[in-house]
Amino acid sequence: MNSALITGANRSIGLETAKQLSERGYFVYLGSRDLAKGEETVKELAEKGFQNIKAVEIDVTKPHSISEARNIIAKEQGKLDVLINNAGILGVNPQTASDTSIEHIQEVFDTNFFGVISVTQAFLELLKKSDTPRISNITSGLGSLTLHSDATWKYYGVKGAAYGPSKSALNAYTIVLAYELKDSPFKVNAIDPGYTATDFNHHSGPGSVESAAAFIIKHTLTDENAPTGQYFSHDIEDGTEISPW
């Protein structure tokens, strides 16, 4: 049975992605900062018929937590097939460039950028033991510098000094990692599930968590001929689903 780890998976898009991967026959590690909450979520899922989902405590900002999660998965699976770096925070609002504190910006980057790097590096050796390793970094359309520079873009006015830049940095890291692993079976991509109605945005987005999760899975469980180092977005409406960087 193939295995997957999803960080930040005890609610919203991460949770729905765990459910859909379980339905596809994956053993899913549902990453949660609070193990008790994660285990309660798994219990509720089991009561609804979902199988092969286990809560694992992982705080992407704490190296010891990441290491413990890695040890659990290594002992139980011996490898990891899919890593979905989903955990993320928005940070304070508003996020003006002129007066948002360095501390607030660093807090967002610690989770959205440095946390992804820490988790990815920790699990890389387990992923290398898979025949079809996949790393999906969950990003946002707000990480696109090209779109942010386009006054006709529908989200042009949504600017922030912490969240968007943290996703731009994540996109850049994705490109570098994909290049480094290009001669291996790895597929490493940045995936924007689109503006989705979640707790993250007070359910203001037009998209559903079901559609967002399906989009993530579509561009994660890909074959050997699929692209790597790409930026897919559910909000791109030209049929390509590829966002400009």
Dihedral pair phi/psi, residue 221, rounded to 5°: -85, 70
Q: In 3D, which of 13, 60, 51 has the Cα closest to residue 32?
A: 60
- Rounded to the nearest angstrom, the gap between the alpha carbon of residue 120 and the centroid of all alpha carbons in its chain is 11
Q: Which residues contact 7 (CB under 8 A, 6 or more apart)?
A: 14, 31, 58, 60, 84, 85, 86, 87, 115, 119
Strand duo 3-6 + 27-32: pairing: parallel
Check if 156 is active-site.
no
Residue 28's CB is within 10 A of a number of other CB atoms, namely 30
Q: Which position among 26, 29, 155, 163 bears the catalytic label?
A: 163
First-to-final CA distance of the chain = 35
Q: Which residues contact 94 (CB under 8 A, 6 or more apart)?
A: 100, 160
Beta bridge partners of 196: 207
**Which residues are designated catalytic?**
163
